[in-house]
A and B are shown apart, each in its own frame.
Chain A
């Protein structure tokens, strides 16, 4: 029982990060109908930026801010510089271009920082509190929850309560009409990419200290996991991404707790296959949200 409680909290903490990362995928999918396969590489690049800033200044929080800013900038640059020019006749074009970006980003990181694993420091203790002999959460887990909740509330407010959010949603759902009504659709798409990339940066900052280590490829498996979470949620819905992320986090925590950590990648693959074969539109999708 103790173990189950611990694994549940651990799973929710990890799942919160997958939710954030899946949310980044959903943001771009809704805004541009592209699954950003370069998300993991872009996110790890921002963590390296944070690492440089933190080493130079000695402040974790300056590094944290740098990662988010770098995420915004990187997203905008990738959209303006590359993705905007991809032919959309086939969804595979964007996938292949994104994979090219993965190689470029990982190569550049390898050239700048080297291909060895670097330990990443967590800003808070990762030792779990114990209440009455039961291990619950660590300070770091609480920080992760707080960060993800702030992120979600912030995004929800942005999208539902601000004029920019309205334009973002309009540009995503009805680009032609929005353009006629004077919305800068291309600009909104760039903004969606920048936001998504910053969200990815946040998620990477939260997950890299939990044992992944800093390496140009260390987000590969996280990307696959977050993709699975987004597919579980249906790629369309932000709420689905959150739910999917938590579900995948719990599943992985139980699998690695009861069957061994090395089995969790297998569980991801099986879950992804199962969801896609049974309900390709995602478990949380309501009616066909839209057929294009």
Chain B
């Protein structure tokens, strides 16, 4: 690599981060009952961005009570009025999208190009989409007058902090529920900024409550006896623990968990487009994507040609400052996540797969991992079975469509899959056979509020997005 790019950093001046934030309960910011706080850092340079409150059981109880109290009026509002609040929120997100995109890249480490062009437009779109449902619920196929569930306890991950917030809050409010949301420990800031948007929108107090904290806060929220609905996005391991917690209760549960998606390339696929799709599938958002195409299944006859093109393309990826508009791959979200990626990549090597990464200079401070490719991977390897949640691609091969299906389906997960071929009948056959909630054919990692998202098997249950996403928040 000899190209030199002039730096093109996005201005940080558009976002004003306070030195500390409290919990957002009943429309007010307040300190945690125990007075505990923790710091949130920028993973790109380990700079402390702010200090946020660590919510305890007492705070969870307070937030749930506020949500319960607000539920009475909020659920009784005509749908058209709830819709208008959601439309207001959507508009405010659009107005403040540059500020939020910069904030998200600072706190999460993702490239500004992605937070600006992908996350924020989708966040606004989700609120617009579900705003329109609020006064049309009788047409959603869940009866003439479907009822909300009550208080929703929502726990979201750090990979798309604001987008996951939108996925959870927009349908919940549209259906007439009130929410207590806990953002991830390492990325709490955009949810707190969202609290300010709720204030600007004039949203009634208590309808949205934001509790920052770690896993213990999430566990308290999930277990709270007055929560009617639990929605979680995160690891399969935590998802199982949550399923055990709500066992035997009346709480409705939806889980969006891990994945190990197969991205399947047939010999007749357009190679250049497939390469772009593979890169987008695994290196988008540093591979911190539950539906990432982390297993490349390539037909043996085109393996050499495809891998050569893929390596060439990977060599052009720019890793570095998330606020630089030229950056393709930003920082790994935390030291813990980086350690996990390193451990699995090392396991790949020690189990006999061949590791390759383009020459690439990584910054000194912060958490970084170069885009990495493993060839000679077998189905038994840990890197072919376990979710790595980082920019690491495992390459396997196949000869027949049947073999591709068998290998693609050979994990406990079933979130997404990709198929690349010019043959229409084969695409439809493959789409039919793959046990996955989303099948991207000749494309990958596309999202839209109108399109249901969610997994088979251990990738969780329930769907978010689309008409299907309403079911999670209605008594049906």
Say whether A and B bind each other.
Answer: no
Q: A-side interface residues toward B, CB under 8 Å?
A: none
